Copies of this chain bind each other. A is one copy, B any other.
Amino acid sequence: MPTTMKDIARDLGVSVVTVSKVLRNHRDIGDETRKRVLDRIKELNYTPNLAARGLVTGKTYLVGLVVPDLLHPFFAQIAKSLSGALLKKDYCLTILTSDEDPELEEREINRLLGRGLDALIIASSCTTSALFKRIQKQGPPFVLIDRSFPDLHANFVGVDDEAVGILATEHLIEVGCRRIAHLRGPQTSPGIGRLKGYLNTLAKSKLTPLPGYVSTQRLVDVQSRESGAELMRQMLTLHPRPDGVFCYNDPMAIGAIHTILDAGLRVPEDIAVIGSGNLHYDTELRVPLSSIDQQTELIGERAARLTLSLLESKTRPRNKTFILQPQLVIRASTERRRRMTGAAAKSLTNAK
């Protein structure tokens, strides 16, 4: 049986309340008494029973994190930062994987809600905000990461996804691509935002994606790499085939490159490829992968800070949004000379 406050109180001839107050740095306790209690706590290696405390205060000291896939380094990194930061303040982080499946995600979140959490952090796979509107009405405070909802005003930390699409597409244009395709992501904000950035950039450059240049797949399977490979296979059947591909994420890009090389084509000479995520192993790939960095570490940190502020504030603070700026990272998969001047390119490819 572990030590309780009662033991300490009895030992020292003070009341349980006194011990409790010392523990929480309540100030109306005599220095003498405080010291004695503190000493005894150290001696017995006492730690308060959080279940009991929670029963009174309504807190569980448990925070939930729901991500589409813990195997993806982006989410693993965020999980790691969050768990470390929260533990310092005595909160435990429980991590669940939704497998990019909105229904599974909702079931898991409901389970967590039933358990009673102090806060929730979610990279949601849902395509609508209904679930989160419900949680806002009756549920713990939460922070969305990576994925947001246009019709939901909520705490959010993520990257500017339209900028991701713009950076990637501008870069492909810059290195001389004119027939630029996009392997798109799911119908969540990053997928939609990156597509938008792609389309807008093309439009600005007076380029038009030919039919079939935007993949029609709606949901990225958990197996992004395979889905990238498969989608690329379809792209290669097009005439003319693309000379540049912007992929929703790095695993898809890796799959795409695999297909391209298998078909006997070269990357980047025949087709340049760029992804997003800037995975730690991008440098070590068959063709080192150009990518858009999403500031993963910063997202983790900010999300942790934001969550802690929700946890510690008595009143529910107003929602905050942090949109980080992505950065272009150039590697071999797009490193090629421009092959034609702007004018030549225009005349060649703009014929719709």
Please give the residue numbers on chain A whose beta carbons come within 8 Å of chain B beta carbons, in ascending order: 2, 47, 49-52, 54-55, 60-62, 64, 69-71, 73, 76-77, 79-80, 83-84, 87, 90, 92-97, 108, 111-112, 114-116, 225, 254, 257-258, 280-281, 284-286, 288
Contacts and interface: CB of A to CB of B under 8 A. Distances in A.
Nearest to A77: B71
Given A51-B55, A55-B55, A84-B97, 17 more contacts: A49-B55, A51-B52, A51-B60, A51-B116, A69-B80, A70-B70, A70-B83, A79-B95, A80-B97, A83-B95, A90-B115, A92-B94, A95-B95, A254-B284, A284-B285, A284-B286, A286-B288
Contacts of A54: 51
A71 B71 contact: no
In the complex this chain forms, how many copies of it are found?
Answer: 2
A170 B27 CA distance: 68
Nearest to A72: B76
A94 B84 CA distance: 11
Contacts of A49: 55, 116
A210 to B, nearest CB: 28
Given A51-B54, A79-B70, A80-B71, A108 B96 contact: no
Contacts of A83: 70, 94-97
A92 B111 CA distance: 10
Contact of A94 (B51, B94, B286, B288): B94
B96 A87 contact: yes
A61 B115 CA distance: 9
B280 A71 contact: yes
Contact of A258 (B2, B108, B284): B284
A52 B55 contact: yes
Interface centre among A49, A115, A254 (most CB of B within 10 A): A115
Contacts of A62: 62, 92, 94
